[in-house]
């Protein structure tokens, strides 16, 4: 395993932490965890505040391909693909890319280029054979499971690609960052400091790469 920032090219998100903190209540969290229209395209209080393609994943796709040395036609799976933005940009760069997401809304509002390549399902039970992908990605998704299911999901990722994978999850390095994160988060069921995440990866037998989403 190696810590590597493969999302370094993404622009920094603009977050109004205090506004989210004031609006956040159990009902808002419940609705966000349905991963429906309000989460993706409703007010910012419920999630993204509008999830639209803008090309920001093009350099991320390039960095992933370069990091793993993927050749044209390599089979890549994006777990938690949402509307398929990264899948679209991997396809445009010669990958045989697919996605999986738990949100029917996201899949029904996917990019036209990825129609037929996105699967409805959960990371705890991936509907693919062992070693069926050259690379598996999961960006800001695994923390949406409770810890036991997060371990199961990591085992599933390992099963599909024998460790040629990259996972990014919510984390924090300081108590101050943890407090900010807890004010902002809507969907994460498990979160912890990096050392504890690495322990979880070890428990799952995961041998791929990883990095952290830290809210500041």
Q: pLDDT tens-digit profile of 15-57?
A: 666 666 556 788 999 999 999 999 999 999 899 999 999 999 9
Determine, yes or no, domain membership for 170: yes
Give pLDDT, residue 11: 86
Q: How many domains does the chain have?
A: 1
Determine, yes or no, domain membership for 157: yes
Give pLDDT, residue 119: 97
Domain that holds residue 160: 55-213
Report CA Rg, the chain. 16
Give pLDDT, residue 109: 97
Determine, yes or no, domain membership for 146: yes
Q: Which residues contact 183 (CB under 8 A, 6 or more apart)?
A: 17, 18, 20, 21, 24
Give pLDDT, residue 17: 63
Determine, yes or no, domain membership for 43: no
Give pLDDT, residue 183: 86
DSSP secondary structure letters along 144-162: GS-HHHHHHHHHHHHHHHT
pTM of the model as a whole: 0.94
Give pLDDT, residue 161: 96
Determine, yes or no, domain membership for 27: no
Determine, yes or no, domain membership for 21: no
Determine, yes or no, domain membership for 7: no
- Quote the CA–CA distance of 2 and 23 in Å, as a whole number: 37
Determine, yes or no, domain membership for 70: yes
- Taking 70 as the pLDDT cut, the residues of the chain under it are 14-23
CATH code of the domain covering residue 116? 3.40.50.150
């Amino acid at each position: 395993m190696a810590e590597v920032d493969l999302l370094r090219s993404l622009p920094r998100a603009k977050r109004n932490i205090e506004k989210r903190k004031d609006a956040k209540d159990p009902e808002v969290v419940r609705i966000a965890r349905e991963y429906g229209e309000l989460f993706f395209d409703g007010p910012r209080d419920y999630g993204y505040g509008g999830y639209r393609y803008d090309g920001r994943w093009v350099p991320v796709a390039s960095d992933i391909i370069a990091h793993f040395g993927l050749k044209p036609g390599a089979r890549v799976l994006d777990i938690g693909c949402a509307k398929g933005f990264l899948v679209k940009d991997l396809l445009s760069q010669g990958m045989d890319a697919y996605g999986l997401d738990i949100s029917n809304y996201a899949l029904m509002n996917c990019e036209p280029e990825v129609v037929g390549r996105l699967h409805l399902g959960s990371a705890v039970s991936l509907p693919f054979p062992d070693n069926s992908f050259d690379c598996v990605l999961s960006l800001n998704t695994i923390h949406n499971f409770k810890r036991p299911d997060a371990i199961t999901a990591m085992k599933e990722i390992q099963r599909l690609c024998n460790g040629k994978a990259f996972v990014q999850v919510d984390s924090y390095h300081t108590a101050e960052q943890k407090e900010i994160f807890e004010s902002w988060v809507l969907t994460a069921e498990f979160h912890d400091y990096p050392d504890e995440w690495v322990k979880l990866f070890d428990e799952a037998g995961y041998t791929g790469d990883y990095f952290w989403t830290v809210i500041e």
